[in-house]
Structure formats: structure tokens, C-alpha cells
Amino acid sequence: MTGRLTINLSALAHNYAQFHRGSPAQFAAVVKADSYGLGVEAVAKKLWDEGCREFFVAFTSEGSALRRVLGEAKIYVLAGVSPKSEEAVQALLADRLIPVLNTLEQCRYWANTQAPAALHVDTGMSRLGMAVDSVAQDISGLNLNIDLLVSHYARADEFEHSFNALQSQRLNAAYSALRAHYPTLRLSLANSAGSLTLQANQALKIQGDGLSHLDRVGIGLYGGHPFSAGGSQHNKALKPVVGLYGQVLQVRQVAAGTPVGYGSTHIMPKASRLAVLDVGYADGLPRLLSNNGRAYFAGEYCAIVGRISMDATIVDVGDLEVAEGDWFELMGAQISVDEVASQAQTITFEILTGLSRRLTKVYIED
């Protein structure tokens, strides 16, 4: 037996609709890291059926895999192009992938291809991207075929922070400087949190005559909370997409004072019954949930007791009628992925991308 991972494609479609609000052409899906661990083939096909035509991946290999799934989609590669890898360049060209150019060296190299590209400027992340203040001058004279100007909010999850407006202003200035040479240029700044922020606060909308903006939506599609504390009012309509379930391997009666798990980190305060589930940290259930997290069964929450093992988790089921083969929810409609991330002292992105490939994936529609 292995744990079960369910991916609700109907919920995925619902969440996509909550973002695009009838205008899917203005929204691209981020499907890097195998669609955040949920399976790029099924996820991308569903989003395509729902009207999504543009997708972002991290690396060329991911783009090539996605091209085999979607023959006509626009696929952007965030890592850009390596001037030292002719093989990667040929793969980009062969699979009609669009590199997001991050450096002047990448721009000079890609200009020789005359193939489409996006341009990434750094407006405040200090991560990837060209200098926003000088980008127009830096690429002047290069024969680039650019239709998308990309940047990234550093603090979009803090939806009222003034840095969001500052980044918008910086990107708008670069856009204005570049548009004389690239009249069809579009902008892409917002991630899931940024997209919902822009919907809620029109003052942050980047302005421009005839401007076209492409939001890049990732974690929100998959049901994750894109905001820090205080932003929950903007994503109450998003539905959980992911469910993680463990099956009962054994049920045992234990007496008060019984130690549980490695290191005996939990001592039973009273007599009870324990259920051992077939999911552990090798499946992506964080070890920090030991003596901290919970599972859900038959309308009741059951505490995780003892340390989570590589392949097993123990829960205190008390007087619940539990038998071998029963399924417990460890993440899903009753225990959100955001709750698991909080208890594990991490973020939702890490929880989803850390789910193991050995879990049995089940795609559902409801």
C-alpha cells in the first residue's frame, strides 16, 4: 500500500475562473516543478480546456515535456537561455519555447536566433533580471523579438505594502522606455497574490495607453493561500485542490504510560487506541508535524502522536471505530495545505513540491 494523493481538477478549473473572471487571455498558468508536484500533464490539459493558452515553466526540460502535452500553447522558460549550451538553445528552438531573457549576455546570444523572447527586469527582488533603470539602453541595437516584459512582486503577499506600488512604477517606466521599439509589448508582474491584490486595489494597476497585462498564477490555482496574515479576505473563493490520505496499516490498544514512536517523544496520558497510517516523511508529510499535526476521519480530528517515521504516521483515534484499510485525511478539505505548512514552519509551495512521487495520484472531477 502507498498513500493516496488526490488532485481535484474541477477545483483547479474553479480557481482558474476566480482569477480570470471571464478574461482568460490575461492570465498564464505557472506549471513549473511538475505543476507544483501535482502532475503537469493532467493539470496543463485541464487548464487548456478551461481557456488557458500561456504557461510558465522554470527550465527548458520542463518546457519540452509540456510541449509534448500541449502542441499549440505559448510556453515561457523562466531560466532563459544559457549561452554556453548550444544543445539547450536547439531544444528551445525545436520545441518553440520562449526564453525569459535575464541578462545582457542572454539577450546578445538569443538575438542571433530572431526567435520570440520575453525580457525580465529586476524591480526589487535582487534575484533574476536586468537592471530596470537602464534596460532600454542596454539592449538598444540588438535585434530582439520581444513581446513580454516580465518582473516579479517581492511582497505581493503583504497586500497593503507600499513596495508593491514602487515596483509597479519601476516596471511602468521601463515599459514606457521600451515600447517605442516594441509596440506590441505586454507586461507581466503579478503572481497569485499580486493578481488578487490588483483585483482588490485598482490603485496598483500599472497604467499605460493600450497596455496589456499578463498575470502569472501559480499557488492560487492549486488551492494554496497566497497571502501573509491579513489577506485571507481576497481568496476565500479558492477551493482546495490537493488531498493527501493515509490508509490504516494497524490498530492497537495501548495503556496509559505507553511510549510512542522513535525517541519515545510521546507518552500516552491515558489508555487509548492508535492507528498506524502508511504515509511518512518520505511521502512529503513534514516531520515537524510530529506531536503537532492532526488527521481527519469520520467527522473527527485525531492528533498525530510520536515522531513521524519515513513510511508511517501514528494517530490517536480514541474511541472511533477504525479498522485496517480505512483512509484518513492528512491534507485536503478538512486540513488545509496552508495549515500543514504553518505547523511545519514553512510555506505552501514547499509542502506541495515536496510530495513524493511514490504516492498514488488520483485525478478527480466533481
Give all domains of the chain, ordered by start, each with its CATH number: 9-225 (3.20.20.10), 242-364 (2.40.37.10)
For residue 196, name the pLDDT band (cuts at 50, 70, 90).
confident
> For residue 276, what pLDDT is reported?
98
What burial class does residue 275 get, using C-beta atoms within 10 Å of its C-beta: 0-12 exposed, 13-18 middle, 19+ buried? buried
Average pLDDT over residues 112-138: 94
In the numeric block, the cell 490508509 is attached to 247
User: Cα-flanking dihedrals φ and ψ of residue 192, to 5°?
Assistant: -60, -50
> For residue 203, what pLDDT is reported?
42
pLDDT in tens, 56-91: 999 999 999 999 999 999 999 999 998 777 888 999
The whole-angstrom separation of Cα 331 and Cα 279 is 12
> For residue 211, what pLDDT is reported?
55
pLDDT in tens, 32-42: 999 999 999 99
pLDDT in tens, 136-158: 999 999 999 999 999 988 787 77
Neighbours of 358 (CB within 10 A): 12
Lowest mean pLDDT among 22-31, 90-99, 242-251: 22-31
pLDDT at 173 over 70: yes
Catalytic: which of 16, 32, 153, 296? 32
Percent of residues, the chain, with pLDDT higher than 90: 78
Percent of residues, the chain, with pLDDT higher than 70: 92
Active site residue 262: yes
Active site residue 296: no
Lowest mean pLDDT among 116-120, 165-169, 185-189, 352-356: 165-169
Name the average pLDDT for the chain: 91
Q: What residues form DSSP beta bridges with 277?
A: 248, 313
Cβ burial 129-168 (10 Å sphere, 16+ → b, else e) = bbebeebbeebeeeebebbbbbbbbbbbbbbeeeebeebb
- Three-class DSSP labels, the chain: CCCEEEEEHHHHHHHHHHHHCCCHHHEEEECHHHHHHCCHHHHHHHHHHCCCCEEEECCHHHHHHHHHHCCCCEEEECCCCCCCCHHHHHHHHHCCEEEEECCHHHHHHHHCCCCEEEEEEECCCCCCCEECCCHHHHCCCCCCEEEEEECCCCCCCCCCCHHHHHHHHHHHHHHHHHHCCCCCCEEECCCHHHHHHHHHCHHHCCCCCCCCECEEECCCCCCCCCCCCCCHHHCCCCCCCEEEEEEEEEEEEECCCCEECHHHCEECCCCEEEEEECCCHHHCCCHHHCCCCEEEECCEEEEECCCCCCCCEEEECCCCCCCCCCEEEEECCCCCHHHHHHHCCCCHHHHHHCCCCCCEEEEECC
Average pLDDT over residues 252-275: 98
pLDDT at 231 over 50: no
For residue 161, name the pLDDT band (cuts at 50, 70, 90).
confident
For residue 198, name the pLDDT band (cuts at 50, 70, 90).
low
Q: pTM of the prediction? A: 0.92
User: Cα-flanking dihedrals φ and ψ of residue 162, to 5°?
Assistant: -65, -20
pLDDT at 232 over 60: no
The whole-angstrom separation of Cα 238 and Cα 121 is 30
In the numeric block, the cell 509589448 is attached to 185
Catalytic: which of 182, 239, 262, 363? 262
The whole-angstrom separation of Cα 212 and Cα 148 is 9
